[in-house]
Amino acid sequence: METARVGKVAVENTAYHFDKAYDYLIPQTLWAKAEKGCRVLVPFGGGNRTRQGLLMDVEEIRAGRTGSEEGLKSVKAVLDQTPLLSPEMLLLARWMKERYFCTLFDAVRVMLPAGLHYQVACSYQAARDIPPEKLEALGDEEKRLIAYLSRCRLPVRRDKLLTALGYEADNDLPEHMSRQGYLEKIDDAFRKIGDAMVKMVRLTEKGETGGVKLSPKQREVFSLLQTVGAASVKEVCYFTGVTAGVVDALVKKGLACCFESERYRNPYDGAPESAVKEEIVLTQEQQRAYEEQLAQYQSPDGGISLLYGVTGSGKTSVFLKLIDRAVEDKRGVILMVPEISLTPQMLALFQRRYGRQVAVFHSGLSMGERLDEWKRVKNGDALIALGTRSAVFAPFENLGLIIMDEEQEYTYKSEQAPRFHAREIAKFRCRWHRCLLTLASATPSVESYYLAQKGVYSLSTISNRYGGAKLPRVVVADMNQELLEGNTGPFSSVLMECLAENLRLRRQSILLLNRRGYHTFVNCRACGEPVTCPHCSISLTYHAANRRLMCHYCGYSIPFTDECPSCHQRQVRYAGAGTQKAEEAVEELFPEARILRMDADTTMAKYSHEKKLKQFADGEYDIMVGTQMVAKGLDFPNVTLVGVLSADQALYSDDFRSYERAFALLTQVVGRSGRGEKEGLAVIQTYTPENPVIQMAARQDYGAFFQGEIQMRKAMLYPPFADLCVVGFSGQQEENVEQAARYFTRELIALAQAEYASLPMRVIGPAKAAVPKVSGRYRYKLIIKNRFDKSFRELIARLLRQYGKQKEYAKTSVFVDINPDMIL
């Protein structure tokens, strides 16, 4: 009996409203390679454009009998030698599509390292044996194109062909000549892997001589290169506020040249070849927590456990004992941390203990490094995946343990499609592998602690710090009183005294200010207008390092100015303080102090986190000033003072999680102090010292905070008592965005009343987003309080498919975010 094979293919670049696994006939010549989990090339759409896809399933049918294979397009090529995705990950992709309202291929893409992705491009070559009389009949442009391709040995990609001939990207001359038979069109897939090099620029001999006319922007770049010699193109753009095109213009004029500088490709340079397992001595509380975790790890079904321990209680020691057991059992381990800044200390600890069995997953690695780490896990060369959110997709075939450190952190939630939470993905994977998921924190999310209290999660608690260390003494400094006493500076008198004492005793201090830049607010005294970004509804921040006003949303920047762009009066006022100004203030007060600033501006370079934190650990700096990246997970025994410069920033926002985030941030940063043998102190500066969140954070009293917060959540119907579904709308025409949001809301109400009347829902909006405009696009939001069950997901999916077919709203995009960390 003859058979045929049909593949179910998830195709890239499909819109949600027509996304599905499409049927394609698999030619018999490809049967040996076409397995589930492999990528393929397929013709798609009316024009049969070649697109990349992934085989979600392969079915064998009786050929010619049922007719089901008739009319099907055929798979053109298989791109992988062996399947990239296991049955678990293929099922996860389908689950993500249903839960996060993304396409199947978007779900597949997020599971794979960036260096592994293929791009499909068409190339052209001149057709052979074209009769001379046909060539003579062509126009000049057609002849020029054929002459160019005839000189090339190999087919030329379409984009390079158009550039070489000086055509615009939308020029259809190659397609037109292909249809007439003058050119051969070739569709191919290529993979672009980061090559561990960084693009640098420096002046040429001609540039050093000077004498060439330059534009103002070119002159800025030229002046910078005269001063520093050579710099990366990224650094040049940051310090001058220009685009890379300005650098390219100098290169074309012969004044500068670009060159490649080698970057470290292997993140394991210097890692120990062999593991050294030091004996871990646990306290009684730690031992009890470990035994509770181990019992659940050994149970047939695994499960979810919350490990709640005060800051400095030694939760990492409990992790290590659990990981030791999983490694002995030859089972994979995933350990997630919320930020890249936490990776270096953890990586150093793990490399000493487990050697090259550790693979690293985070965005700070080059594409090539990420690809290599992914392969080491897939090939079984690494048993431990350590990293940020992306580590949750590490391709272990036999997973035994997932640990999510600081599980409450917002960075575990993706803000791009698919908008997943790593905790939900971890739960799915643990159910599949029947293994243990350990959620750990000194300040668990309200939802996780609630589920632990209800018995849905098991709960292990460590109430005391390790080794007899005490929680730091906390002083709340009233900044109103400081003003009354004539102190208008950023530091209270008590914090200045404590910093001076710490310097005298050669101890280290950490200062937290969760805003980067120098001045955080700029406005005009004459007209009262703030100096805002033209593309975003947000004021600009002044950065002293490059003397520019910058937008922290889209990156727009202008040079420092005292002239108002609205009324043109020279009465621009700069106010507010960011980390750059705090650093300057510390330098003025303590000129002898060695100061390290840690924020997004100082940690742009690769390995900058590792380098700076190691220098601080080695005692090369006395005071660390930084944003929230200095507040969590860091362990420096010589740090005995922590100062919070503006506690009120985190407290007062229009998001229901603001108190939870503020409590966690204050508790975590206070916990950085006194982690060694020396007693610690923390100073929290605030204009509202009576605020209960500040008082509870000062006492490290999570229990009291939880009781108050859970009552508010229940009264207001917030998670965990309901799910929040935020539907966002974005487009360049505000009127169309608003109309689209109102259309979606009307259809939601109508469909819910007609077919989903049993669903409990509260609909709020539509309304403008908190920041109405970002990167030139206007934003509206719709909030739905609901129970996120199968019926609700079906309702939203139907509405999205219906919306996608409305041509009048084609330029306004829509997305759905379930339980976002911050409401749009």
| Binding site as annotated, residues | 524, 527, 533, 536, 551, 554, 564, 567
Give the C-alpha distances (Å, rounded to integers) separating 202 from 209, 225, 227, 261. 13, 6, 11, 12
CA-wise closest residue to 666 among 410, 439, 442, 412:
442
The tokens of 724 are what?
């929040």
Helix (H) or strand (E) holding 96: helix 87-100
Query: Amino acid letter at 58?
Result: V
Give the β-pairing of 723-731 and 777-786: antiparallel
Give the C-alpha distances (Å, rounded to integers) separating 622 from 314, 613, 625. 25, 12, 10
Rounded to whole angstroms, the Cα distance separating 731 from 738 reads 9
Any bridge partners for residue 688, and if so which? Answer: none
Rounded to whole angstroms, the Cα distance separating 629 from 409 reads 12
CB atoms within 10 A of CB 360: 24
Query: Amino acid letter at 47?
Result: G
663 SS3 class? helix
Contacts of 304 (CB under 8 A, 6+ apart): 427, 430, 436, 437, 439, 456, 457, 458
Rounded to whole angstroms, the Cα distance separating 596 from 602 reads 9
- Degrees, nearest 5: CA angle 644-446-323: 85
Q: Where do we find the tokens 């109405």?
A: 772
Rounded to whole angstroms, the Cα distance separating 281 from 321 reads 10
- Is the peptide bond prior to 637 cis by the omega test (within 30 degrees of 0)? no
The tokens of 328 are what?
């002995």
Helix (H) or strand (E) holding 777: strand 777-786
Q: Are 123 and 96 a contacting pair, CB within 8 Å?
A: no
Q: Where do we find the tokens 């009183």?
A: 481
Sheet holding 230-232, edge to edge: 230-232, 197-203, 256-262
The DSSP code for 301 is T
Contacts of 805 (CB under 8 A, 6+ apart): 17
Rounded to whole angstroms, the Cα distance separating 727 from 816 reads 5
Query: Amino acid letter at 239?
Result: F
Rounded to whole angstroms, the Cα distance separating 807 from 300 reads 53
Query: Amino acid letter at 230?
Result: A
Rounded to whole angstroms, the Cα distance separating 265 from 173 reads 41
Q: Are 369 and 116 a contacting pair, CB within 8 Å?
A: no
Contacts of 461 (CB under 8 A, 6+ apart): 285, 289, 308, 309
Rounded to whole angstroms, the Cα distance separating 551 from 584 reads 21
Rounded to whole angstroms, the Cα distance separating 717 from 767 reads 20
CB atoms within 10 A of CB 638: 18
Burial of 169 (0-12, 13-18, 19+ CB in 10 A): exposed
- Where are any strands of DSSP class E within 569-638? 572-575, 595-598, 623-626
The annotated binding site for Zn(2+) is made up of 524, 527, 533, 536, 551, 554, 564, 567
Could you give phi then psi for residue 689, rounded to 5 degrees?
-65, -20
DSSP codes joined into one string, 371-412: HHHHHHHHTTS-SEEEESGGGGG---SSEEEEEEETTT-GGG
Query: Amino acid letter at 402?
Result: I
